[in-house]
């Protein structure tokens, strides 16, 4: 039995004993009847208020339960889950046909994004040699945890459970790593028999043609909000949403604006700001299905094709940590940053 579920026939004293036995920090019970219908939620605050109004320890929990509770159905929009989380709700009942089907612990799983995910893990990581001579780059450990597992954990927090890893270099090690659930997710692995570019391996993965898929490089570390990126993708009705990194270029000289040979103006040591591709995308599955099977394809190539066809491509600025671990210096920086984040409970 879920330790957060209590029968409506229980007493307030039994509820207090059950609350006292909770160890996960979420001090809420959900009151259900014999048919699995939810009668309300119950906290120690609700019990205190009921006792002040005359209830006794032998009273049924229904006398203390909060009946105007928040809940969702399996197909509720992400916005409704976000609204509950922002209200400070920690335990959210998921109800279908009037019956409780599960409890969503918003302290562990922040949302339920209707996305599948593909983590690209086929590269050789040549710039990190000799570390990658015998270990695939995604399995290199940063502060005691493989790089790829940071990304799987972020997917789990976003409620994404349909996760596939595409691999080629030292594939048996990655397959072995995911032979057991990681952060509660049974990750699937597919192997590129030949190099398929930065997104061609997506053709090896089956999917719902009407859905969307998050595709990202497995060797990134980021605090990107997948929820906010998805909500933008949805609101824009985009075929592709690209996570983008702000990138500035400072020129140490005076730059001439010219018209033919004529100098129109000079700008002293200007700084130009751009957005760079962050290696994280949300694609419509229809677009991914257009990739020719077993044909090398790079993500920019697929995106340029979409733009040429008049499909909507938008970008989502990354606000926070983003590290592409491409060099030994990047690796050392990532170790220092992750130690700091984890010490502060942020990652």
- Sign, CA dihedral 101-105-106-110, equals negative
Task: Specify whether 122 is located in the same domain as 94.
Answer: no
Q: How many domains does the chain have?
A: 2
User: 255 in a domain, yes or no?
Assistant: yes
The length of the chain, given as a count of residues: 347
pLDDT attached to residue 180: 96
The predicted model gives 124-138 an average pLDDT of 87
pTM, 2 dp: 0.89
Task: Specify whether 141 is located in the same domain as 282.
Answer: yes
Residue 337 reports pLDDT greater than 70? yes
Question: Helix (H, G, I), strand (E, B), or coil: what is residue 121?
Answer: strand
CATH code at position 98: 3.10.580.10
Domain end (from 105, 132, 147): 105
In tens, the pLDDT along 277-301 reads 999 999 999 999 999 988 899 999 9
pLDDT attached to residue 159: 96
Domain end (from 105, 139, 164): 105
The predicted model gives 29-55 an average pLDDT of 93
Residue 143 reports pLDDT greater than 80? yes
Task: Specify whether 182 is located in the same domain as 74.
Answer: no
Residue 127's pLDDT band, with cuts at 50, 70 and 90, is confident
User: 111 in a domain, yes or no?
Assistant: no
Domain end (from 72, 105, 138): 105
pLDDT attached to residue 344: 67
- Strand 99-105 and strand 116-121: the pairing is unpaired
Task: Specify whether 98 is located in the same domain as 140.
Answer: no
Task: Specify whether 188 is located in the same domain as 319.
Answer: yes
CATH code at position 236: 3.90.550.10
pLDDT attached to residue 63: 87
Task: Specify whether 168 is located in the same domain as 81.
Answer: no
Task: Specify whether 48 is located in the same domain as 99.
Answer: yes
In tens, the pLDDT along 58-106 reads 999 988 999 999 999 999 999 999 999 999 999 999 999 989 999 999 9
User: 110 in a domain, yes or no?
Assistant: no
Residue with tokens 């159905």: 73
Task: Specify whether 179 is located in the same domain as 289.
Answer: yes
User: 146 in a domain, yes or no?
Assistant: yes
Contact 148, 172 (CB under 8 A): no
pLDDT attached to residue 340: 75
Residue 346 reports pLDDT greater than 60? no
Dihedral (C-alpha) 347, 171, 162, 142: value to the nearest 10 degrees? 0
Contact 8, 32 (CB under 8 A): yes
User: 137 in a domain, yes or no?
Assistant: yes
DSSP structure string for 305-347: HHHHTT--EEEEE--S-EEE--SHHHHHHHHHHHHHHHHTT--
Task: Specify whether 212 is located in the same domain as 294.
Answer: yes
- Which residue range is the domain that position 313 belongs to? 116-343
Residue 176 reports pLDDT greater than 70? yes
């Amino acid at each position: 039995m879920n330790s957060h579920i209590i029968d409506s026939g229980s007493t307030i004293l039994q509820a207090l004993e059950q609350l006292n036995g909770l160890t996960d920090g979420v001090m809420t019970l959900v009151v259900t009847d014999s048919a699995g219908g939810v009668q309300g939620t119950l906290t120690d605050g609700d019990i205190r208020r009921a006792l002040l109004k005359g209830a006794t320890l032998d009273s049924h929990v229904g006398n203390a339960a909060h009946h105007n509770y928040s809940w969702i159905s399996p197909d509720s929009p992400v916005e409704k889950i976000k609204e509950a989380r922002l209200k400070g709700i920690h335990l959210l009942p998921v109800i279908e046909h009037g019956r409780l089907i599960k409890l969503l612990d918003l302290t562990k799983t922040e949302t339920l994004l209707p996305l599948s995910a593909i983590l690209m893990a086929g590269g050789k990581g040549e710039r990190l040699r000799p570390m990658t001579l015998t270990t695939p780059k995604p399995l290199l450990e940063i502060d005691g945890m493989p790089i790829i597992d940071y990304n799987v954990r972020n997917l789990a927090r976003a409620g994404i459970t349909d996760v596939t890893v595409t691999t080629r270099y030292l594939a048996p090690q990655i397959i072995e790593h995911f032979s057991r659930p990681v952060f509660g997710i049974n990750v699937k692995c597919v192997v590129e028999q030949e190099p398929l570019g930065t997104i061609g391996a997506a053709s090896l993965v089956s999917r719902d043609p009407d859905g969307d898929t998050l595709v990202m490089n497995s060797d990134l570390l980021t605090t990107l909000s997948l929820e906010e990126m998805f909500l933008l993708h949805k609101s824009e009705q985009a075929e592709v949403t690209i996570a983008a990194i702000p990138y500035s270029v400072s020129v140490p000289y005076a730059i001439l604006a010219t018209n033919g040979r004529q100098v129109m103006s000079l700008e002293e040591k200007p700084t130009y700001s751009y957005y760079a591709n962050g290696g994280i995308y949300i694609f419509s599955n229809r677009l991914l299905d257009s990739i020719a099977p077993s044909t090398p394809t790079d993500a920019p190539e697929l995106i340029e094709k979409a733009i040429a066809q008049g499909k909507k491509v938008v970008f989502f600025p990354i606000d926070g940590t983003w590290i592409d671990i491409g060099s030994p210096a990047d690796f050392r920086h990532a170790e220092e940053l992750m130690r700091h984040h984890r010490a502060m409970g942020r990652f």
